[in-house]
Structure 1
Amino acid sequence: MKFNRLGNSDLKVSDVCLGTMTWGIQNTQQDADEQIAYALDKGVNFLDTAEMYPVPPNVDTYGDTERIIGNWISRNEAKRSDIILMTKVAGSGLKYIRNAGPITSDAVTNALTYSLERLKTDYIDVYQLHWPNRVTPHFGKHWPDGADPTKTNREKELDGMRDILMGIKRALDEGKIRHWGLSDDTPWGIHVFLTLCKELDIPLPVSIQNEFSLLHAKDWPYLIEMCELENIAYLPWSPLATGMLSGKYHNGARPKGSRWTLAQRMGLFRDKAPAQAATAEYVKIADKAGITPSQLALAWCKQVPGVTSTIIGATTMTQLKENIDAFDMTLSSETLEEVHKVFRQYPLGF
């Protein structure tokens, strides 16, 4: 396992970050314990969660993923310092989370208090803003008819971001978080937070995690260039496009217990003809290379210049082992050339 510095922090994180959003619906406490044990044994030291997990989010399971991790921490206190733990404060949209209100200074304080309680820890290594308060080109809104920046009130957003930073500063000063980061944001969001942090003398964000895969590489090259040159760790989430790049949804298949059989808050917006066509080609390339389609997608993601650590998730130990093994693989120049021929044909599958 290789390790990389997390942005401008003093933290060294593994190439693999263990995602946890299935824990509490698709996975049990026992499953989670087994996944953590295996990941740690393979050298993974990076864990990502969020207050709104598991997904699909709902009022009955809200916070359960953090509780599952907290149960593990309470039984493995000596190992807490061995893991770099990230969680996130939810933004607006879910009525059962702070009445669907936006992220504010008070929301950060409130959410962090309960996350620490559920996680049974005194501190969070990296505390993230799960998504911006404004509408952004994420979650299927990256096409021209999706997000409309002309409708964003710039001054209102700046005031709101200053207020959020007051909550972040308070948490840092109190020692409840070591660092902070962004999620599902844009170059403008990064730029503004960097500017405001310098204006307010607040530590800079150390990371951002955005959706990124062979089917959804809209952050390359512009946002990733900004992250690299501003020393912000870039952390891809959903590198398998919610499992699509494994090939398991080919020809309309819906394997029992798979994510696409569950209700989707945003709908199945990734299930588009170009994405299916591209996936079919990637499956052929993986077969020719003697690896699985998932391993092809993950090994590709790892080698993208500017990627710090890739967030993976699994519902079975077989999947977890397969996925972690991908990070010991180096794709040949021939395989990369074949991949990029398909990639140029389908730069945005959905």
Structure 2
Amino acid sequence: MEYAKLGSSGIDVSNICLGSMTWGVQNSQQDADQQIEFAIDKGINFIDTAELYPVPPSGEKYGDTERIIGNWLARNKAQRQNLVLATKIAGNGLPWIRNAEDISGPAIIKSVDDSLQRLQTDYIDLYQLHWPNRTSPHFAKHRPNQVRFSEVSAAHETAVMHEILDALQTCIDAGKVKHCGLSDDTTWGINQYLKLSEKYQLPKMVSIQNEFSLLHSKDWPYLIENCIHENIAYLPWSPLAGGALSGKYLNGARPEGSRWTMSQRNGLFRDSEQSMNAVAEYKTLAEKNGYSAAQLALAWCKQVDGVTSTIIGATSIKQLNENINAFEITLDDVLLSEIDEILKRFPAPF
């Protein structure tokens, strides 16, 4: 296992982060326990969760993934100091979470306390904003004019960011949060937070997690360049594009119990003709070189300059082992060139 600094935090994290959003719907407490212990045995020290989880999100299941992790931590207290535990406050739009309201200072204070209670821990290593209050070009909203940036009040958004940082400082001063980060944000969002933290001596965002994969590489180069030079850890989520890059959904297949058989909050936006054509080509290329399609996609993600730790998830130990093993693969120049040729033809397939 390889390790890297989590941005400017000084914390060493494994280059694989164990995602947890299936725990509570597709996976049971027992499944989660097995995955956590398997991952730790493989050298993974980084676990990511969110108050929103499990997915698909619902009021009935809200917070259950944090509770599952908390149950494991309560039975394995000696392991807590060896783990980097990350969670996230949900943004606006969900009626069962703070009446669908924006993230605010008071919301941060309450949500940190609620997450600590569910996680059965005294502190959170990395506390992240799951998505910004303003609409951002994520979740398939990345075509020109799908988001109208000119209609956003930069002054208002910046004032709320200042309020959020003040609240995060309060949590850090209380020992409840060690470091803070972003998710599903943009270069502008990163830099506004950096300016505020420097001007007012408030916490610096140390990381950002955004969707990034062979089907969704829009953060390269501009946002990732910004992360490198500002010492912000870049944490790709959905490196398999919601499972699409495994090839299991080709030709309209829907394996029993798989995520695409369930209702999705944002719909199956990755299921386009272009996406499936790209996946088919990546799968053929992978198998020609002795890898699974998922392994090819994960090995590619790992080698991208600026990637700190890739968030992976699984619904079985077999799948988790296959995904972890992908990070031992070194793609040679010839294979990387062949991957790049496909990427050129399908740069934004959904």
Say yes or no: TM over 0.5. yes
Q: Structure 2 length normalisation: TM-score?
A: 0.99
- Superposed, 1:194-205 pairs within 5 Å as 194-205=194-205
Which residue number in structure 1 is paired with residue 264 of structure 2?
Answer: 264
Q: Is the 8 A contact 2:211 2:237 kept in 1?
A: yes
Q: Which amino acid aligns with 1:26?
A: Q
Q: Is the 8 A contact 2:165 2:203 kept in 1?
A: no
Q: Is the 8 A contact 1:87 1:126 kept in 2?
A: yes
Q: Which amino acid aligns with 2:105?
A: S
Which residue number in structure 2 is paired with residue 54 of structure 1?
Answer: 54
**How far apart, in 2, do the equivalents of 1:168 and 1:280 lie?**
44
Shift of residue 199 of structure 1? 1.3
Q: Is the 8 A contact 2:168 2:203 kept in 1?
A: no
Q: Which amino acid aligns with 1:148?
A: R
- Superposed, 1:158-197 pairs within 5 Å as 158-197=158-197
1:107-164 CA distance string (max 9 Å, x none): 0011111100000000000000000000110011100141110110111111111111
Which residue number in structure 2 is paired with residue 146 of structure 1?
Answer: 146
SS of the residue corresponding to residue 207 of structure 1 reads: strand
SS of the residue corresponding to residue 9 of structure 2 reads: coil
- Superposed, 1:184-263 pairs within 5 Å as 184-263=184-263
Shift of residue 59 of structure 1? 0.5
SS of the residue corresponding to residue 241 of structure 2 reads: coil
Which residue number in structure 2 is paired with residue 300 of structure 1?
Answer: 300
- State which drifts further: 320-329 or 139-148: 139-148
- Superposed, 1:8-19 pairs within 5 Å as 8-19=8-19
Q: Which amino acid aligns with 1:225?
A: E
**How far apart, in 2, do the equivalents of 1:203 and 1:127 lie?**
11
1:14-69 CA distance string (max 9 Å, x none): 01000000000000000000000100000000000000100010011000000000
Q: Which amino acid aligns with 2:32?
A: A
Q: Which amino acid aligns with 1:161?
A: M
Q: Structure 1 length normalisation: TM-score?
A: 0.99
Q: Is the 8 A contact 2:186 2:223 kept in 1?
A: yes
Which residue number in structure 1 is paired with residue 35 of structure 2?
Answer: 35
- Superposed, 1:65-84 pairs within 5 Å as 65-84=65-84
Q: Which amino acid aligns with 2:218?
A: K
Which residue number in structure 2 is paired with residue 121 of structure 1?
Answer: 121
Q: Which amino acid aligns with 1:41?
A: D
**How far apart, in 2, do the equivalents of 1:211 and 1:324 lie?**
19
**How far apart, in 1, do the equivalents of 2:290 and 2:44 lie?**
25
Does residue 304 of structure 2 align to residue 278 of structure 1?
Answer: no
Q: Is the 8 A contact 1:140 1:146 kept in 2?
A: no
Which residue number in structure 2 is paired with residue 288 of structure 1?
Answer: 288
Q: Which runs of 5+ in 2 are unaligned?
A: none
**How far apart, in 2, do the equivalents of 1:326 and 1:77 lie?**
30
Q: Is the 8 A contact 2:183 2:208 kept in 1?
A: yes
Shift of residue 166 of structure 1? 1.1
SS of the residue corresponding to residue 225 of structure 2 reads: helix
1:205-225 CA distance string (max 9 Å, x none): 110000000000000000000
Identity across the alignment (%): 58
1:76-114 CA distance string (max 9 Å, x none): 000001110000001101101011110000000111111
Shift of residue 187 of structure 1? 0.3
Q: Is the 8 A contact 2:48 2:86 kept in 1?
A: yes
**How far apart, in 1, do the equivalents of 2:306 and 2:232 lie?**
9
**How far apart, in 1, do the equivalents of 2:284 and 2:44 lie?**
30
SS of the residue corresponding to residue 341 of structure 2 reads: helix
SS of the residue corresponding to residue 210 of structure 2 reads: strand
1:204-246 CA distance string (max 9 Å, x none): 1110000000000000000000000000000000000000000
Q: Which amino acid aligns with 2:62?
A: Y
Q: Which amino acid aligns with 1:76?
A: N
Q: Is the 8 A contact 2:228 2:306 kept in 1?
A: yes
SS of the residue corresponding to residue 271 of structure 2 reads: coil
Q: Which runs of 5+ in 1 are unaligned?
A: none
Shift of residue 198 of structure 1? 0.8
Q: Which amino acid aligns with 2:193?
A: F
Shift of residue 203 of structure 1? 2.4
Q: Which amino acid aligns with 1:93?
A: G
Q: Is the 8 A contact 2:2 2:14 kept in 1?
A: yes
Kindly tell me the number of residue pairs found equivalent between the two proteins.
Answer: 350
**How far apart, in 1, do the equivalents of 2:349 and 2:170 lie?**
41
